[in-house]
Structure 1
Amino acid sequence: MARTASVGLGWYLDQIRSTPLLTVEEERQLSRRIRHHGDYIAREQMIRANLRLVVKIAKEYSNPGMTLGDLVAEGNLGLMRAVEEFDPDAGVRFSTYAAWWIKQSIKRAMINAGQPIHIPAYLVKLITKWRRVSNQLENELGRPATVAEMAKKLDISLKKAGIVKQGLLAVGTSSQMGSGEAQTLSEVISDDNDTS
């Protein structure tokens, strides 16, 4: 079965390599046709010319829990959404815009499949620091610190503090935690300096 899947993926990769990449002007023209006229052929051309981008991004998320083919399929959904939403007059290349949609689609699929998501090292450090400072402030104030107080203490923007707070409230799946019980992200990320 795995050999059949890899042969199918190999054929798919050969097929997408045969499609030429688009110039900036071609991207704009096709996008305008899609946006203003709902041009199905232009839509297909945009999608086909960017399938290699999906494969490239999917390889970055490759893990034992999901096959590359599954990741590519999910990324293709993100690519299709990007083609529909892209504004050719926004001053950004389509590939830059599409990468975000592709990654979001892949990440969502991994979450739904219960696969761990890579958290960047800087964010792990920030979350760890947040936990430590939050505990200190709670001891000092006699109550949980507000997001604004945390932002000030950590010397980060209020917006970034809100994002970290949301991350801490995110609930992991049981397959990520191993215990079968839901835990917050803050419980999952260990704090090497936490002695409690």
Structure 2
Amino acid sequence: MNPQNIIVDASTDVTVGPEPRIIIPKINVDAPVVYGAASDTKSQSKAMEKGVAHFSIPGASAVPGEVGNAVFAAHSSNDAFAGGDYKFVFAQNEKLVKGDIIYMNYNGKRYTYKITSTEVVMPTEVSKVQINTDKPMLTLVSCVPLGTAEKRLLIFAEQISPDPSKATATSESSSNQQQSNNSNIPGKPEPTLLEKLFGGR
């Protein structure tokens, strides 16, 4: 059994390897996380070819362990002939519900989050991820309905371990989110094969 998949007591601190990863036991997700990509669509799409991409814009630039909203986007479906090994990493995100657990490995530490709510929004509703909060939280972003890029499924979760009251302040000066004018929540820039065949977008 892969030790990354073992569910641990959320009240304890866990040391992990240096590679950033996201683990969602309920839907068997264990994937690398890509930090440092610019917030434009092309850069985010390239990052999502390598795993789950950290999406950083003003008001949504936290990383695990920081106060604020840490936003992570990945494909739920993509053209079978498109590049990358992570075209379907968030394909089962619609099965996630309030109370489910998400693990984020970051800088050698495991952060545990509990899902608080979900919401489906239009790609232009960027303000939905720009959350003014005094808590460390994350939002997962994927396209829905499956096989389209019509809307975005947002999954909101709050950190429960390590102790969230010890989270540090978010640095809004990260180079990857400076001068961001992105007007869309991340998603597929091109139609999938299914969309091309059936005329959807």
TM over 0.5: no
Report which structure shows greater RCO (CA 8 Å, sep ≥6).
2
Instruction: Give me the TM-score of the superposition, normalised by structure 2.
Output: 0.21
Question: Higher Cα Rg: structure 1 or 2?
Answer: 1
